[in-house]
Structures are given as structure tokens and as C-alpha cells.
Amino acid sequence: KVLVGTKVDEGHVNYITAYNMLTGIRFTVSRTNAKVDRELSDADFAARHKFSFDITGNELTPSAKYDFKFKDYAPWVFRHLRAKFDIDPAEYLMSLTSKYILSELGSPGKSGSFFYFSRDYKYIIKTIHHAEHCFLRKVLKDYYQHVEKNPNTLLSQFYGLHRVKMPYGRKIHFVVMNNLFPPHRDIHGTYDLKGSTMGRDYDESKLQSNPRATLKDLNWLRRDMKLEFGPHKKDIFIRQMEKDVALLQKLKIMDYSLLVGIHDLSRGNEDGLRDKTLQVFQPGLDKNEENPQGSLIRTPSKLEHARRVRELRESVKKERPVPMEAATDIMPDEANRTGFFYKDDGGFRATNLDNTAGPKIYYLGIIDCLTRYNTVKKAEHFWKGMGGHEPEISPIPPQRYGERFIRFIERTTKSSDLTEKERESADGA
């Protein structure tokens, strides 16, 4: 599991899929955002629209490079969600343009889902299973209402739900969501925490060859890691966690985790993650024109970027669809995210006991929250639970899964300047 993705260029097996995903997103998002805003109705949650793309184009869809079908789910709901998460429509379209192809993280989990980063690293496209897709549609209204009530939610931020199908190909469902990790900061440690210990161990001998691997609960505990927040931030953080987990429990969701990325301010950016990660593919550019570091082909000036955003914003405002390929060959370079947990340079800064700022920035969120405690999990529970190990195993019912998750996070959240004695009594609590 590394963050540095593989460039999806014309030779890549998933090039056409990725290209069509982006073409479909661009078309449907600009189509919806070109209309005058309105209130949501119940029908918006169930809505779906199907489009056929081909190389000639028709009265509804513009011509595309390949033939494919694209389905857009609940476009108005996601338009409103993007607005709630402060995503600027023009910026969104720029990030997800098909002119620059994504980088692929491959399939880091066991689920077989694929992950793609937008070219500026702000968004992740995750392919999801049909069951997850159906489930998200089913609970979309609950999710929406939760976001309305909890603008600072730590849950994955969903920006779009779509499906792409190529001739003779499978139907591929996918979501667009926030990349928790910032494009401009090195992440010095990544952990995926569930509050369970069974099988939650990354073999650290593999870290040599894979230094950016995502570690798990047992690695976290063995390394005596903490989420270093003083009382004030801890309180706000845990209270939000509790509200988010209450929703997941209510919807009978489980198997989610807290994804934690740590930026150590004392180490800074010496590893140059950014240059290694943000590989941009520009069609029509000769391979050997790539700059020697293999990094950004072109970094636009801030001014140039602002001008392009303005242009796009104008066309969105004028209620005309954004031209498919226009005004996009630029790269915004800062994570200007909002929300309480994402406002310290895109993350959440550590604090000391006296609530003064600490030497780390945490990038956190609850991810992989579309797994329902269904019959498969119940069967797994039955077998794994036979040995009487229930508190340690991962597939326990959603209520208890959530309780164990919160308890783990709560206990591991403490500022680093606690004395040994204070730590002990906090651990015992």
C-alpha cells in the first residue's frame, strides 16, 4: 500500500476506463451545475440518468474519444453535498478533467476496489462493489441529513456516485471522495485503525521496500503511538467521532477505520513526496519531454490558475455547460480545505496539555464506511467467534464494532506531554 501511484497513461490497462470515468464526470457535473440551484426533493435521492457517449456525439452528449455508457446517480444531492463541503464547482471540474489522466493506486485493500487520484491529488475515485453502490443509494438521505447537521463530520466526503460501462465490458460503479492526505505535505506515517487486534498487523520487515505502507492497530500499539491532542481538541474530536459512529451504528455499518496520516513538522518535506507523487500525463506530449525529475510537467503560476478558475466559474454561472476540454491544463497547488478537522494546512494540528500547538499535523477521517453487517459478515462472525475471541475479531455486530472503535480512539488520544503517571491513570480509565 503506497501512496505513490502509477501514472495511468495511454499504455495502461485501465487507461480507457479512467478516461471515460473522467469524461462522464465532467459532462454530468457541468450539466447539473449549469442549472439554477433549487431545493432537493425526495425524488432527487432516487434519481439516475443514463448517457451514451460515442465518437460522433448526439443532441444530448458531446462527442467523446471512446464509446461508453455513463450513469449519474442523484446528481442534485451530490451537487448540494459538494457545496456543503465547500467544493468550488469550477475547481472540481478542473481537478477531474480527462485531459490529464489520474494516477492509480491499484487495489490496496482486500476488497478488490481500485483507487485513482485526481491529477492534483485532491480527490480519490474508488471503484465499489454493486452491493456498496446499492447501499449508498439506500442510505444517501441519512448521510445527507447527517452532513447537514454535522458540517465537520469525519466521515468520508462523497462528491459523486457514477457508473461506467464500456461495450462488452462490466458495469463499474465508483464514488468520488476526498483524499484525506494533502498534496503538498510529506506524510511520515500512515495508519488504518479499527480498534481490533486480530490480523491487524502490517509486517514491518516489508517497510524497507515499501516505506509508505499503511500500518495497522498492532503496529500503532507496538510503537506506542498516540493521537496527540490536548483536552480542548480531544473533546471536540471525540464528540464528532461519537456522532459519526452513531450514524454508522444506526445504519448497521461496520469494518470502517480511522485513517491517520501524520506529518511531522520537525522533519518537514525533505522526502519530496509531492514531486514523486504528482505525475501528470499530458496527451500529445512526447515522453522524453518529461522533465528530468519525472515530476510535474508544468506548474502553472498562481495567477494563471486563478484566471482559469475564473473562466470556468463564469461559464458555470452563465448556466452553460463547461466545454469538455477547455481551460484545464493547470494545477492548483494548495490544499485549501475547510472544516474544523481540515483547516490546519489541510489537517488537524496536534496540541499539548495546555492546548498550545504541537509539532505534528494529523490528517484523519473515517473511511471505508459502505460495508453493511450482512449475512456474509454474520457467517464470518459465527466461525471466528467460535474460539471465544470476540473482543478482538473484526466482524462483530455494528453496535459493538462502533463501541470498540470509539473506545480505542478515545484511549489513544492524549497529548504527548502527559507525565508517565498521568498516562497510566488515563490508560486505566
Binding site for ligand ATP (CB under 6 A): 1, 108-111, 113, 115, 124, 156, 177-181, 190, 192, 214, 259, 367-368
Other C-beta atoms lying within 10 Å of the C-beta of residue 237: 22
Stretch that binds Ca ion, among 106-114, 134-142, 163-171, 207-215 (CB under 5 A): 106-114
Out of 44, 120, 217, 368, the only residue in the binding site for Ca ion (CB under 5 A) is 368
Q: Is 104 one of the binding residues for Ca ion (CB under 5 A)? A: no
Q: How far is the CB of 135 from ligand ATP (least distance, A)?
A: 13
Tell me which of ligand ATP, Ca ion, none is bound by residue 324, counting a contact when its beta carbon lies within the kind-specific cut-off of 5 to 8 angstroms: none
Q: Which is nearer to ligand ATP, 175 or 280 (CB)?
A: 175
| 126/114 Cα distance (integer angstroms) | 6
Residue 239 phi, psi (nearest 5)? -65, -40
* CB of 127 closer than 8 Å to CB of 173: yes
Which parts of 251-289 fold into alpha helices (H)?
273-277
Measured at CB, which residue is nearest to ligand ATP? 109
| 240/258 Cα distance (integer angstroms) | 13
Q: Which is nearer to Ca ion, 217 or 368 (CB)?
A: 368
Tell me which of Ca ion, ligand ATP, none is bound by residue 110, counting a contact when its beta carbon lies within the kind-specific cut-off of 5 to 8 angstroms: ligand ATP
* CB of 257 closer than 8 Å to CB of 192: yes
Tell me which of Ca ion, ligand ATP, none is bound by residue 312, counting a contact when its beta carbon lies within the kind-specific cut-off of 5 to 8 angstroms: none
* CB of 190 closer than 8 Å to CB of 213: yes
Other C-beta atoms lying within 10 Å of the C-beta of residue 321: 17
> What length is written for the chain?
429
Q: How far is the CB of 190 from ligand ATP (least distance, A)?
A: 6
Q: How far is the CB of 186 from ligand ATP (least distance, A)?
A: 14
Q: How far is the CB of 395 from ligand ATP (least distance, A)?
A: 12
Q: How far is the CB of 34 from ligand ATP (least distance, A)?
A: 28
Q: How far is the CB of 76 from ligand ATP (least distance, A)?
A: 24
Task: Evaluate the CA torsion angle 279, 282, 287, 289 in order and state its sign.
Answer: negative
Q: How far is the CB of 406 from Ca ion (least distance, A)?
A: 17
| 221/200 Cα distance (integer angstroms) | 11
Tell me which of Ca ion, ligand ATP, none is bound by residue 1, counting a contact when its beta carbon lies within the kind-specific cut-off of 5 to 8 angstroms: ligand ATP
* CB of 31 closer than 8 Å to CB of 48: no
Tell me which of ligand ATP, Ca ion, none is bound by residue 91, counting a contact when its beta carbon lies within the kind-specific cut-off of 5 to 8 angstroms: none
Strands 214-216 and 189-193, how do they pair?
parallel
Tell me which of Ca ion, ligand ATP, none is bound by residue 62, counting a contact when its beta carbon lies within the kind-specific cut-off of 5 to 8 angstroms: none
| 48/87 Cα distance (integer angstroms) | 22
Q: How far is the CB of 305 from ligand ATP (least distance, A)?
A: 23
* CB of 48 closer than 8 Å to CB of 74: yes
Tell me which of Ca ion, ligand ATP, none is bound by residue 397, counting a contact when its beta carbon lies within the kind-specific cut-off of 5 to 8 angstroms: none
Q: Which is nearer to ligand ATP, 262 or 312 (CB)?
A: 262
From the list 112, 126, 125, 103, the residue with the least C-alpha distance to 2 is: 103
Q: Which is nearer to ligand ATP, 40 or 225 (CB)?
A: 225
Q: Which is nearer to ligand ATP, 111 or 282 (CB)?
A: 111
Tell me which of Ca ion, ligand ATP, none is bound by residue 177, counting a contact when its beta carbon lies within the kind-specific cut-off of 5 to 8 angstroms: ligand ATP
The continuous run of DSSP H or E covering 246 comes out as helix 231-250
Q: How far is the CB of 116 from Ca ion (least distance, A)?
A: 16
Q: How far is the CB of 176 from ligand ATP (least distance, A)?
A: 11
Q: How far is the CB of 137 from ligand ATP (least distance, A)?
A: 18
| 261/258 Cα distance (integer angstroms) | 10
SS3 assignment, position 364: strand
Tell me which of Ca ion, ligand ATP, none is bound by residue 170, counting a contact when its beta carbon lies within the kind-specific cut-off of 5 to 8 angstroms: none
Q: Which is nearer to ligand ATP, 180 or 227 (CB)?
A: 180
Other C-beta atoms lying within 10 Å of the C-beta of residue 208: 7
What track of x and - describes contact with Ca ion for positions 110 through 149 (by CB under 5 A)? -x--------------------------------------
Residue 360 phi, psi (nearest 5)? -135, 155
Other C-beta atoms lying within 10 Å of the C-beta of residue 354: 10
Other C-beta atoms lying within 10 Å of the C-beta of residue 414: 20
Tell me which of Ca ion, ligand ATP, none is bound by residue 249, counting a contact when its beta carbon lies within the kind-specific cut-off of 5 to 8 angstroms: none
Tell me which of ligand ATP, Ca ion, none is bound by residue 45, counting a contact when its beta carbon lies within the kind-specific cut-off of 5 to 8 angstroms: none
Q: Which three cell numbers stand for residue 174?
A: 465508483
Summarize as ranges the residues that interact with Ca ion (CB under 5 A).
111, 368
